[in-house]
Amino acid sequence: ETTRKWWKEATVYQIYPASFKDTDGDGWGDLKGITEKLPYIKKLGVDVIWVCPFYDSPQQDMGYDIADYEKIWPRYGSNEQCYELIDKAHSLGLKVVVDLVINHCSADHKWFEESRSSKDNAKRNWFIWKPAKGFDTSGKPIPPNNWRSFFGGSAWEWDEKTQEFYLRLFASRQPDFNWELSEVRHAIYETSVGFWLDHGVDGFRIDVGGMYSKDQSFPDAEVKDPNAEFQDPLKHFANGPRIHEFHKEMHQFMVDRVKDGRELLTVGEIGFGTEQDFIDYTSAKEKEIGMMFNFKHVTVGEDPAFKYKLVPWTLKDFKLAVAESFQFINGTDCWSTIYIENHDQPRSVSRFGDDSPEWVATSAKMLAVMEIALTGTLFVYQGQELGQPNIKGWATEQYEDVELRGNYEYVLKQFGPNSKEMKLFHEAVQLISRDHARTPFPWTPESPSGGFTSAKTPWFELNPSYPAINAENQLQDPNSVFHFWSKALQVRKANKDLLVYGYDFEFHDLDHDKLFLFTKKYADQTLFAAFNFSSSETEFKTPVPGKYTQFFGNYRQPDNSSVLRPWEGRLFYVE
């Protein structure tokens, strides 16, 4: 059985600073806005806030391109305001987790400016520089290998001044650090980890945590798509050769740096790997990270070779993928996470529920019931507590995410505007764009900016759903998704043995295409959970003999029948 820890039982609320609350009228959210809204977050009943990057940045990738790890981006406020936010959160009993973005930084970071200044600069090798493979007939340099960037095109960026390429797995101005050098790693730990531990944070969400260790031969990736100029390189750096050594070292740095005995929450964005990889990262005795995010369930229905191409999927795929995120911890000293939304994912009610006016609230509540019933640390993303749906009816041009734009350019160049590939791209944007999660938070139904800002134009348009789906309306309505989430979190706390720490998870009727049924245990207690992923009534069977007592569900009138109503979820004790 797993050791109990505060961070295993906690629910984390994820905040996207650009879009949470603007207090100074510049159209961008800010740290003061977060501080102002802490009572709202507290009311929801979470225990921790995770604030996405607020550091100084040219914002090519919404702050995941950091120019100075120790300074707040001026539009978000000052360092003092950040320390105030941490203090205020602590005084309300909320812990604070910050984003640790250290696979890469911004090209504006002073280390990169030094590194690119000349081939013999002392920091040249702090980043990954390679000469061109050659030059094509028009004199254009050919990248060192065929790796594709996550954000479209080559993963290598040509630097005119020193006539070499630098590696950037993400945006063009997001150079990857060279983690092979101990000097680089310690400089990173000092500025990004040490600095913020000294300022009292309670932990880190570790961005791109599985990709620091690249295959040092930088081989060409296997050609999976013969029509494409660049290929999927994931296997040459995902969970690479030295990754566990690096995490152990960073963990030790954290332990040595914390002077007041506080225990940190660390969660790694790992994405993909084998069960053994997940065990290696999160096993307590390995001393690496506390828990990790798996991407399996949030990428169901996306082509693994290219995310902006949807493929058919079944409920069974989703069920298996959800279970993959925590089943590996059974009987081990590992831990994991529960999440279905974040700033890189669309809205769960549109993706896995039903966002039609008739079922949007019911299915959002059902997904809440599902999440509180699963084992692991629960993460809720801003707006999820309102059942906010995806953006509807925008043309691709209205989306602004750098990942989307980069891949759009790529499809346009490679296949053309009227190709079948482009048609599939537009379709995928409507369902899975990261921007669905990034529109300003709808505080009120007021036009034009839903209480988010007093500026005429917010940095990004609001989701057109805000007059109907917003915090003010939901706070007034006792049957709202917000109040339901808050109740659900209380139920999770009151039943934490079974819900948070339950083990021996088992599917029932796994092949059923509407029902998600499972049992799990804690000591002599048994939970049965039943969910109807459809808008039609669906009969279910109780899987084991016993007395079933329903203790939570998303319909107001409990029902003793064995028929689940549309998008109904129920939790039972089995005796």
Element (H, E) at 291: strand 291-294
- Residue 78 gets which letter from DSSP? -
Element (H, E) at 505: strand 503-508
Q: Which is nearer to ligand ISL, 22 or 176 (CB)?
A: 176
Q: Which is nearer to ligand ISL, 170 or 379 (CB)?
A: 170
- Does 316 bind ligand ISL (CB under 6 A)? Our answer is no
Residue 105: which of 96, 119, 115, 120 has the closest Cα? 115
Question: Tokens 């348009």 — which residue?
Answer: 461
Selected from 16, 112, 129, 150, the binder of ligand ISL by CB under 6 A is 150
| Residue least distant from ligand ISL (Cβ) | 64
| Burial class of residue 336, CB neighbours in 10 A (0-12, 13-18, 19+) | buried
- Does 30 bind ligand ISL (CB under 6 A)? Our answer is no
Q: Which is nearer to ligand ISL, 66 or 422 (CB)?
A: 66
What residues are paired with 315 via a beta bridge?
A: none
CB atoms within 10 A of CB 1: 9
The whole-angstrom separation of Cα 148 and Cα 129 is 16
Backbone angles phi, psi at 502, to 5 degrees: -55, 150
Query: Site for ligand ISL (CB under 6 A): how many residues?
Result: 13
- Does 399 bind ligand ISL (CB under 6 A)? Our answer is no
Smallest separation, CB 358 to ligand ISL (Å):
29
Q: Which is nearer to ligand ISL, 232 or 344 (CB)?
A: 344
Selected from 208, 234, 243, 488, the binder of ligand ISL by CB under 6 A is 208
- Does 443 bind ligand ISL (CB under 6 A)? Our answer is no
- Residue 255 gets which letter from DSSP? H
Smallest separation, CB 134 to ligand ISL (Å):
30
Q: Per the structure block, which two tokens stand in for 98?
A: 């910050």
Residues 262 to 281: which contact ligand ISL by CB under 6 A?
A: 271
Smallest separation, CB 304 to ligand ISL (Å):
11
Residues 342 to 381: which contact ligand ISL by CB under 6 A?
A: 343-344
Contact mark string toward ligand ISL, 319..348, x via CB under 6 A: ------------------------xx----
DSSP-derived secondary structure for 192-248: IIIHHHHTT--EEEETTTT-SS--TT-PPPP-S-TT-SSB--GGGTTT-TTHHHHHH
Residue 465: which of 396, 354, 394, 391 has the closest Cα? 391
- Does 170 bind ligand ISL (CB under 6 A)? Our answer is yes
Q: Which is nearer to ligand ISL, 157 or 568 (CB)?
A: 157
Q: Which is nearer to ligand ISL, 434 or 483 (CB)?
A: 434
Smallest separation, CB 343 to ligand ISL (Å):
6
Cβ-contact 439, 460 below 8 angstroms: yes
Element (H, E) at 113: helix 110-117
The whole-angstrom separation of Cα 438 and Cα 534 is 27
Contact mark string toward ligand ISL, 422..441, x via CB under 6 A: ------------x-------
Selected from 164, 207, 435, 568, the binder of ligand ISL by CB under 6 A is 207
Contacting residues for 309 by C-beta, under 8 A, at least 6 apart = 302, 303, 421, 424, 425, 428
Smallest separation, CB 478 to ligand ISL (Å):
35
Query: Buried b vs exposed e over 489-509: b needs ≥16 C-beta within 10 Å?
Result: bebbeebeebbbbbbebebbb
- Does 56 bind ligand ISL (CB under 6 A)? Our answer is no
Catalytic amino acids? Answer: 207, 269
Selected from 56, 61, 232, 354, the binder of ligand ISL by CB under 6 A is 61
Q: Per the structure block, which two tokens stand in for 127?
A: 């980043």
- Does 157 bind ligand ISL (CB under 6 A)? Our answer is no
Smallest separation, CB 430 to ligand ISL (Å):
16
Q: Which is nearer to ligand ISL, 324 or 472 (CB)?
A: 324
Smallest separation, CB 353 to ligand ISL (Å):
19
Element (H, E) at 114: helix 110-117
Residue 418: which of 406, 426, 429, 428 has the closest Cα? 426
Q: Which is nearer to ligand ISL, 293 or 505 (CB)?
A: 293
Selected from 5, 307, 487, 496, the binder of ligand ISL by CB under 6 A is 307
Q: Which is nearer to ligand ISL, 22 or 207 (CB)?
A: 207
Contact mark string toward ligand ISL, 529..568, x via CB under 6 A: ----------------------------------------
Q: Which is nearer to ligand ISL, 50 or 196 (CB)?
A: 50
Contacting residues for 215 by C-beta, under 8 A, at least 6 apart = 236, 237, 240, 241
Smallest separation, CB 208 to ligand ISL (Å):
5
Smallest separation, CB 61 to ligand ISL (Å):
5
- Does 460 bind ligand ISL (CB under 6 A)? Our answer is no
Q: Per the structure block, which two tokens stand in for 253?
A: 């740095």
* Total number of residues shown for the chain: 575
Query: Buried b vs exposed e over 131-169: b needs ≥16 C-beta within 10 Å?
Result: ebeeeeeeeebebbbbbbbbbbbbbbbebeebebbbbbb
Selected from 13, 28, 50, 64, the binder of ligand ISL by CB under 6 A is 64
Cβ-contact 177, 127 below 8 angstroms: yes
- Does 232 bind ligand ISL (CB under 6 A)? Our answer is no
Backbone angles phi, psi at 349, to 5 degrees: -70, -30
- Does 177 bind ligand ISL (CB under 6 A)? Our answer is no
- Does 176 bind ligand ISL (CB under 6 A)? Our answer is no
Contacting residues for 275 by C-beta, under 8 A, at least 6 apart = 324, 328
- Does 318 bind ligand ISL (CB under 6 A)? Our answer is no
Smallest separation, CB 77 to ligand ISL (Å):
21
Q: Which is nearer to ligand ISL, 268 or 451 (CB)?
A: 268
Smallest separation, CB 214 to ligand ISL (Å):
15
Residues of this chain that interact with ligand ISL (CB under 6 A) are: 61, 64, 101, 150, 170, 207-208, 271, 307, 343-344, 403, 434
